[in-house]
Amino acid sequence: MKEQSQSTKTNYDSRFNHEFSTDAIHAGEFENMSAIPIYQAATVDGQYLRSGNPTIDAFETRVKTLAQGSWGTATASGTSAISQVLTNLLESGSRIVCHHTIYMWTKEILNTYLAKFGVEVVYVDMTDLNQLKKAVKKKTDVIYFEPFANPTLDVIDVKSAIDIGKASGSIVVVDNTFLTPYLLRPLDMGADIVLHSATKYLCGHGDTLGGIIISKTERTGHQMDHIRNAYGGILSPQNAFLLLRGIETLPIRMELHCSNAQSVAEFLESHSKIKQVTYPGLPSSQGHEIAKTMVNGFGGMINFETIDHERHQQFLKKVTLCKPWVSLGDTQSLVIGQGGHNRIRMSVGLEAISDIIYDLDQALA
Ligand X SMILES: Cc1ncc(COP(=O)(O)O)c(C=O)c1O
List contacts with ligand X (CB under 6 A): 77-79, 103, 146, 150, 175, 177-178, 197, 199, 209, 211
CB of 148 vs ligand X, minimal distance in Å:
9
Cβ-closest residue to ligand X?
78
Distance CA 129, CA 273 (A): 34
- Comparison of 57 and 175: residue with beta carbon closer to ligand X: 175
State the amino acid at position 190 in one-letter form.
G
Least distance (Å) between residue 93 CB and ligand X: 26
Nearest to ligand X of 77, 262 (CB atom): 77
Q: Which is nearer to ligand X, 199 or 303 (CB)?
A: 199
CB neighbourhood size of 216 (10 A): 22
DSSP letter string over 311-360? HHHHHHHH-SSSB--S--SSSS-EEEE-TTSSEEEEE--SS-HHHHHHHH
* Cα distance between residue 314 and residue 220, in whole Å: 49
Task: Give least dist CB 174 to ligand X, A.
Answer: 10
3-state SS class at 217: coil
The residues, ordered by sequence, that sit 6+ positions from 257 with a Cβ below 8 Å of its Cβ are 201, 299, 300, 329, 348, 349, 350
Question: What separation in angstroms does the CA of 277 have from each of 49, 146, 286, 326?
Answer: 46, 19, 10, 19
- Residues with Cβ within 8 Å of 180's Cβ and at least 6 positions away in sequence, in order, are 196, 201, 202, 250, 254
**With left for phi above 0 and alpha for psi between -120 and 50, is residue 47 left, alpha or beta?**
beta
Cis amide prior to 54 (ω within 30 degrees)? no
Residue closer to ligand X (CB basis): 98 or 274: 98
For ligand X, the closer of residues 61 and 150 by Cβ is 150
Nearer to ligand X among residue 111 and residue 362 (C-beta):
111
CB of 211 to ligand X, least distance (A): 5
Cβ distance to ligand X smaller for residue 82 or 164: 82
Q: How far is the CB of 81 from ligand X (least distance, A)?
A: 8
Query: How far apart are CB 352 and ligand X at their closest, in Å?
Result: 26
Residue 248: CB atoms within 10 A of its CB come to 16
Rounded least distance, CB 198 to ligand X, Å: 7
Residues in the chain: 365
